[in-house]
């Protein structure tokens, strides 16, 4: 195997690793701690209270950001806000990812 072939194989390997690093990790429930910025994996309604029957204030689009402020004691809902939006509640049903 020549030097050029080795370089091509190494470059292809690193390229595949780079793509894998950009893919979000799947989790059942993200642990969104106070002040953390997360993303949502689907269009998400932000509601006035921790209930599916509560009024919808606005929608965070798929892959949009959500800044967690706190969580419901059951961890079923997370309180926070989208960019430049008022605080509200979103379900913590696996749609949050990439919290940091």
Domains of the chain: 27-97 (2.30.30.40)
3-state percent helix, strand, coil for the chain, nearest multiple of 5: 20, 30, 50
Q: Which residue has the higher pLDDT, 33 or 2?
A: 33
> CA neighbours within 13 Å on the CB side: how many for 64?
17
pTM: 0.67
- What is the distance between the alpha carbons of residues 62 and 93, in angstroms, rounded to a whole number? 15
What is the model's pLDDT at position 1? 53
For 22-59, give the DSSP string.
Answer: HSPPP-SS----TT-EEEESS-EEEESSSSTTSPEEEE
pLDDT in tens, 20-66: 333 344 444 455 667 889 999 999 999 999 999 999 999 999 999 99
Q: Which residues contact 12 (CB under 8 A, 6 or more apart)?
A: none
- What is the distance between the alpha carbons of residues 95 and 33, in angstroms, rounded to a whole number? 15
What is the model's pLDDT at position 77? 93
Q: Which residue has the higher pLDDT, 3 or 95?
A: 95
What is the model's pLDDT at position 89? 95
pLDDT in tens, 56-96: 999 999 999 999 998 877 789 999 999 999 999 999 999 99
């Amino acid at each position: 195997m020549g030097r050029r072939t080795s370089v091509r194989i190494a470059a292809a390997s690193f390229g595949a690793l780079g793509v894998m690093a950009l893919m979000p990790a799947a989790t059942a429930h993200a642990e969104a701690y106070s002040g953390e910025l997360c993303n949502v994996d689907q269009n998400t309604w932000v509601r006035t209270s921790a209930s599916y029957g509560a009024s919808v204030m606005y929608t965070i689009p798929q892959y949009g950001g959500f800044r967690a402020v706190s969580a419901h004691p059951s961890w079923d809902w997370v309180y926070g806000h989208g960019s430049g939006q008022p605080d509200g509640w979103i379900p913590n049903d696996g749609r949050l990812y990439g919290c940091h």
